Structure 1
Amino acid sequence: MTTHAAKAGVEVAPVTGYTGAEITGVDLAGPLDDEAVAVIRAALLRWKVVFFRDQRIDHAAHVALARRFGEPVVLRSRGKASPGDFPEVETTADRLELAGRYGMDHQEWLERRRHTLSRGWHCDHGARVDPPAATILRAETVPPYGGDTTWSNLAAAYAGLSAPVREFADRLRAEHRLGVGYQPRPGRDAYVQHLQDHQVATVHPVVRVHPETGERLLFVNGYYVEQILEVSRAESRLLLELFVEQVTRPEYTVRFRWEPGSVAFWDNRATIHLAPGDTGHLDSPRIMHRVMLAGDVPVGPDGRPSEPICGAPLVS
């Protein structure tokens, strides 16, 4: 079903009941007129993540596309596969980036980071005081099978809570920290040293208010959240189990099958996502390019903004 057909020929077709829409009738390699930008922005806000197929865009076009929707983030450090002449673009090439990282193969590193099955769910740079507003990810090379990414809708997850639990969650705040739950290696651990040298932590509201739609979002995930504050650790553990289970319920998710030339554009304020974990054993590269848009400091229903504990903002 198509929910919108613009005069410019841009069409938006929802993918699931709550999350995700596929957009056709647009060439992201060329300049977008204001009408097309408005249609895409409205679909993004409504469906939280939008998908485009068969796009042939290079780094310059990728950055130009991002600029139509916000200010691209320039990271202080990027992976070694990222292009030197486009500082806004971060490239992830699994076999180039992850083999031997911190003295471990990729599988051991994942095992030590993921202390629960929900550990991989995250929003981009969620431990920063100013997480990105959105992310635009494009696929260059993908395996012939596997490698899907999954997103979940935090507005739908919040709305799906019972009224008393929503009211309780509105008052809570939680510490988000890089490296939560990591199990160190015996002896000297290069990743522990990395965390000590580059630690980032922020107190965010458990429920943040979307700055554009006004929706309330259940702003938790299994990757960064350290503890809910002002409750005991035992209570925090049970509350986080409740909230993380809520935000990862299958009915709030959408799963996307990548192809070369696919582009996913998601609202990083209103979603969490799960990167694939089924390609490490495949003898095929997975090369993706990411541009993020600068975001604001989250604010809770009580009007209180997030508070940094350590680490610089993403955008200085």
Structure 2
Amino acid sequence: MTTDAGTDTDTAAGTAAGIEVRPVTGYTGAEITGVDLAGDLDDAAVQVVREALLAWKVVFFRGQRLDHAAHVALARRFGEPVTLRSRGGASPAEFPEVETTADRLELAGRYGMDRDEWLERRRHTLVRGWHCDHGARVDPPAATILRAETVPPYGGDTTWSNLAAAYEGLSEPVRRFADGLRAEHRLGVGYQSRPGPDAYLEHLQDHQVATVHPLVRVHPESGERLLFVNGYYVERIMDVSRAENARLLEMFTEQITRPEYTVRFRWEPGSVAFWDNRATVHLAPADTGRLDHPRVMHRVMLAGEIPYGVDGRPSEPITGAPLHSPA
């Protein structure tokens, strides 16, 4: 698989009549038309989507008519869906692979906070919300398929950034330096606790999840090098001083969130976003609390492998079970 997005997608599209892949920005995101995701996708259509995903990191579909069963069936065409051990009450009990993002609205109340305080304590810096899904696990998902059921008439957009482009955008000496670094990713990093008893802090202490990942991971399919860092999970870069750690994290997180590497998606009912969780970080919207409209989304994640670095060393778990347990 080459990194020439136009060549790969055009070639594959020629074998799947009616499918068009239209890039959205220069680095990240493509919209795919001519595909019914609820139908029986043939191998040629699956290949078009796969190649577009590898090339553009996130692909978008509009006007889809997926229910939970079709959503899971779609995911199985591209990998093995993850079954989460814990979900909120809004997720469908009969489809353990599907997680409903309305569950997030339950969390603040569960720990004695309103939503604004919840976000403030978890996102105390401007880049805090950027993340890959379950990045503190030793086996983060390979990909995520998110579909919109109900969206507000405005707001609620999601943004993605391309970690391969971010790595390539570094100078050559800094790339060499980053290639040899490893970082600790930990659930709950940077959470600002409440005065007195704090139920969420107690939850984090009782359910710790942490892994040492390579700062630059190698994509298992494309071979690209990815600047695998984000503000949501990264605790520290290993084997550097505290002062050096702060400055290096600031430099790398600024790099992965540079506007030219990002794409912002406006959701509509029936929209689907399918992203490579290995090669992107994303930013969920923080404006939905200001909107007097529901936003109900459903996601299915695909099981991923343990990352490895440029030197071939795999990630090493510190605490917490892997995300995915094969049947």
Q: TM-score, normalised by structure 1?
A: 0.98
Query: What amino acid does structure 2 have at the position aligned with 1:254?
Result: V
Instruction: Give the Cα separation in 2 of the matches to 1:170 and 1:271.
Output: 18
Q: Who is 1:122 aligned against?
A: 131
Q: Who is 1:149 aligned against?
A: 158
3-state DSSP of counterpart to 2:221: coil
1:78-89 mapped onto 2 (5 Å cutoff): 78-89=87-98
Determine if contact 2:151/2:294 at 8 Å carries over to the other structure. yes
Determine if contact 1:130/1:313 at 8 Å carries over to the other structure. yes
Q: Who is 2:169 aligned against?
A: 160
| TM-aligned CA deviation for residue 94 of structure 1 | 6.4
1:34-183 mapped onto 2 (5 Å cutoff): 34-93=43-102, 96-98=105-107, 100-183=109-192
| TM-aligned CA deviation for residue 8 of structure 1 | 2.7
Determine if contact 1:8/1:35 at 8 Å carries over to the other structure. no
CA RMSD of aligned residues (A): 1.3
1:303-314 mapped onto 2 (5 Å cutoff): 303-314=312-323
Instruction: Give the Cα separation in 2 of the matches to 1:87 and 1:60.
Output: 11
Q: Who is 1:298 aligned against?
A: 307
What CA deviation, in whole Å up to 9, does each residue of 1:155-213 have, x standing for no partner? 00000000000000000000000000111101110100110111100000000000000
119-128 vs 191-200, greater mean Cα deviation: 191-200
Identity %: 84
**Structure 1 residue runs without a partner (length 5+):** none
Q: Who is 2:213 aligned against?
A: 204
| TM-aligned CA deviation for residue 96 of structure 1 | 4.8
Instruction: Give the Cα separation in 1 of the matches to 2:259 and 2:149.
Output: 28
3-state DSSP of counterpart to 1:125: coil
Determine if contact 2:136/2:185 at 8 Å carries over to the other structure. yes
Instruction: Give the Cα separation in 2 of the matches to 1:223 and 1:212.
Output: 25
Q: Aligned residue pairs: how many?
A: 316
Determine if contact 1:210/1:269 at 8 Å carries over to the other structure. yes
Query: What amino acid does structure 1 have at the position aligned with 2:39?
Result: G
Instruction: Give the Cα separation in 2 of the matches to 1:293 and 1:229.
Output: 29
What CA deviation, in whole Å up to 9, does each residue of 1:36-75 have, x standing for no partner? 0000000000000000000011000000000000000000
| TM-aligned CA deviation for residue 100 of structure 1 | 1.6
Determine if contact 1:218/1:247 at 8 Å carries over to the other structure. yes
3-state DSSP of counterpart to 1:82: coil
Match of 1:265 among 259, 274, 277: 274
Match of 2:24 among 5, 9, 15: 15
Determine if contact 1:94/1:285 at 8 Å carries over to the other structure. no
List, as ranges, runs of 4+ consecutive aligned residues in structure 1 with deviation greater than 6 Å: none
3-state DSSP of counterpart to 2:59: strand
Determine if contact 2:142/2:304 at 8 Å carries over to the other structure. yes
Instruction: Give the Cα separation in 2 of the matches to 1:21 and 1:100.
Output: 37
3-state DSSP of counterpart to 2:180: coil
Q: Who is 2:201 aligned against?
A: 192
Query: What amino acid does structure 2 have at the position aligned with 1:32?
Result: L
Instruction: Give the Cα separation in 2 of the matches to 1:297 and 1:177.
Output: 16
3-state DSSP of counterpart to 1:272: strand
**Structure 2 residue runs without a partner (length 5+):** 1-5
3-state DSSP of counterpart to 1:100: helix
